[in-house]
Amino acid sequence: MKHFFTSVMIISSLLITGCFFQQKEYSDTRFLMDTLIKITVYGQDKKALETTTTEAFKVFKQIADATDSYEGHLEDDLYALNAKAGKGPFKVNPTLLDLLTKTEAFHHKQINLALGKVIAIWQAHGKTKTVPSKEEIQTALTTAKPDAFTINEVDGTVTLAPNASLDLGAVAKGYGVEAAANELKKHPEVEAALVNGGGNIKVIGTKKDGKPWRIGIQDPRDNQKLLGTLALTANMAVATSGDYQRYYEVNGVRYHHIIDPATGFPARGTISATAVTTSAYVADYYSTLLFVLPKEEAIKLVESTDDLEAVIKDDQGNIYISPGLKDKFSLAK
Amino acid sequence: MRKADYLVLVALVLIAALGYGLLALRGNSSNKILIIKHDNAIVERIALKGVQAETKLSIPVKDGTIKIRYDKNGAWVESSPCPDKICVHQGKITKPGETAACVPEKVLLAIEEPAKEAEHDAIIK
């Protein structure tokens, strides 16, 4: 009986201390890069979690400012660079230089960072719900040729051809999410975290129950439903590009925001492309690329690239799930 | 074992049971979803069940910023740049179906019951 009494005492003490050391959650949501960015962090010290989250948002904001093509924030940001087209080498912000250099290193022609002029035309037509003519788009496409810009990594400069204009919409959010997550990782008080911004998610660590993070992916044709659920393990990232995120319709035809660099018109065939990999920046890059590529090419790319998994839904309703996701992605019923 | 030992034992068991009861109650706060819309677009969906502490959310609007706060029970508008402050005076909404809106700034808070989000850590849109 004495042993029983001792056991009860021990178990009770454990339960009580368990309550004291329960993991706490802190979360903050802010509007940046024209979207909502939500950071959720888990740890023991609430005050420290709050401070760290603010630091991570600062990092994100700095990237948002450096990569904004619509409004100037810094003297060496993307807006300033675009204004210097045709005027020789321009020394850019180190963040902008890093993002441009990394993205160019992928060498894929279906991701073109020089589509600024084409995107501006689509945005203007989106406001009036009209469709630009092929000629208008063709003229703008001539500013987006492979020689539209050159990077000099040593000098930290970028040279834009006359009339060229860069747009980093394909990669900036993922780059920001990854940088914010890296900032959180520097702080030991963060035991786990989830950064969610504009179709890009990065998770750090493991949830307290030890189970994978459960990420719902929206159904591209019904925002009240999910396409499926992805089980994401520690330090992985996921990004989705879809034709439902930003679009307008004219005569029943959907004109969305992901432009095929080959035609200058919205990419057709795929309606939702999700990329899963270790970096949110790389996930953002590949989700855009997989969306733009013809489906067969996209599947080939996924199956020949290390650390890349994907879910792709086409406009015929077919869903491709890469072999590595077979037991991690479950379709919604 | 003496009588006093038994009393301590009973007291401990009662404390443990009470603790479990409280934890169970906390974990069970239904599947309410807080939906925040701005200019008719959903800007945030929050499964209140998973909210462990009062959280703030700022939304830039045409006249400045609307500040919203929410916790596991509901949400309220803390401040708004709009002239009449009806949204602020509305106070906290907690029940499914309840809404608080700031019409001049086109911001809407609504609580809904469905549950699919509560099963997820995040939804990618």
Q: Can you tell me the distance from the alpha carbon of A298 to that of A284, in angstroms, rounded to the nearest whole number?
A: 15
Q: How many domains does chain B have?
A: 2
In this structure, are B13 and B70 located in the same domain?
no
Cross-chain CB nearest to B125 (options A15, A27, A199):
A199
Assigned domain for B124 exists:
no
A276 vs B: CB within 8 A: no
A134 vs B: CB within 8 A: no
* Count helices and strands in chain A by DSSP H and E runs: 9, 16
Cβ pair B82, B65 in contact under 8 A: no
Assigned domain for B125 exists:
no
B23 pLDDT more than 60: no
Cβ of A215 and B116 within 8 Å?
no
Counting as low any pLDDT under 50, the low residues of chain A are none
In this structure, are B14 and B54 located in the same domain?
no
Distances (CA, A) of A16 to A9, A13, A35, A141, B7: 11, 5, 42, 66, 19
Residues of B in contact with A225 (CB under 8 A): 116
Q: Which of residues A160, A188, A204 is at a domain's end? A: A160
Distances (CA, A) of A205 to A202, A280, B4: 10, 15, 47
In this structure, are B35 and B24 located in the same domain?
no
Interface of A with B in 141-200 (CB under 8 A): 194, 196, 199-200
Mean pLDDT, all residues of chain B: 80
Cross-chain CB nearest to A217 (options B5, B57, B124):
B124
Cβ of A8 and B13 within 8 Å?
yes
Cβ pair A312, A273 in contact under 8 A: yes
Cβ pair A172, A79 in contact under 8 A: no
Q: How confident is the model at residue B13 (pLDDT cuts 50, 70, 90)?
A: confident
How is the beta sheet containing A157-160 ordered, strand by strand? A89-91, A157-160, A149-152
pLDDT of residue A258: 96
A20 vs B: CB within 8 A: no
B29 pLDDT more than 90: no
In this structure, are B20 and B74 located in the same domain?
no
Residues of B in contact with A248 (CB under 8 A): none
Q: Residue A268: CB partners within 8 Å, gap ≥ 6?
A: A260, A315
Q: How confident is the model at residue B115 (pLDDT cuts 50, 70, 90)?
A: very low
Cβ of B5 and A5 within 8 Å?
yes
CATH code where residue B86 lies? 2.60.320.10
Both structure tokens of A24: 């706490």
Domain interval for residue B14:
1-29
H, E, C per residue of B52-121: CCCEEEEEEECCEEEEEEECCCCEEEEECCCCCCHHHHHCCECCCCCEEEECCCCEEEEEECCCHHHHCC
Q: How confident is the model at residue B43 (pLDDT cuts 50, 70, 90)?
A: confident
Cβ of A31 and B58 within 8 Å?
yes
Cross-chain CB nearest to B121 (options A16, A46, A213):
A213
Assigned domain for B18 exists:
yes
**Alpha-carbon torsion angle B79, B85, B86, B88, nearest 10:** 20
Assigned domain for B73 exists:
yes
pLDDT of residue A18: 53
Q: Which of residues A117, A135, A160 is at a domain's end? A: A160
**ipTM, 2 decimals?**
0.81
The residue that leads in pLDDT, A19 or B76, is: B76
Cβ pair A319, A313 in contact under 8 A: yes
Question: Is A233 in a helix, a strand, or coil?
Answer: coil
A9, A31, A40: best to mutate for the B interface, most B CBs within 10 A:
A31
Cross-chain CB nearest to A36 (options B19, B44, B53):
B44
Q: How confident is the model at residue B26 (pLDDT cuts 50, 70, 90)?
A: very low
A223 vs B: CB within 8 A: yes
The residue that leads in pLDDT, A189 or B114, is: A189
B9, B112, B125: best to mutate for the A interface, most A CBs within 10 A:
B125
In this structure, are B38 and B67 located in the same domain?
yes
Cβ pair A283, A291 in contact under 8 A: no
Bridge partners for A29 per DSSP? A38, B57
Per-residue pLDDT tens over the stretch A54-110: 999 999 999 999 999 999 999 999 999 999 999 999 999 999 999 999 999 998 989
Cross-chain CB nearest to B119 (options A26, A214, A223):
A214
Phi, psi at B67, each rounded to 5° = -105, 125
Mean pLDDT over B46-73 rounds to 91
Domain interval for residue A264:
212-331
Of how many residues is chain B composed?
A: 125
Distance from CA of B3 to the nearest CA of A (A): 13
Residues of A in contact with B51 (CB under 8 A): 27
Both structure tokens of A205: 């660590």
**Alpha-carbon torsion angle A99, A279, A25, A65, nearest 10:** 10
Mean pLDDT over B50-68 rounds to 91
A15 vs B: CB within 8 A: yes
Burial state string for B28-56 with b = 16 or more CB within 10 A and e = fewer than 16: eeebbbbbbbbeeeebbbbbbbebbeebe
Assigned domain for A9 exists:
no
In this structure, are A132 and A216 located in the same domain?
no
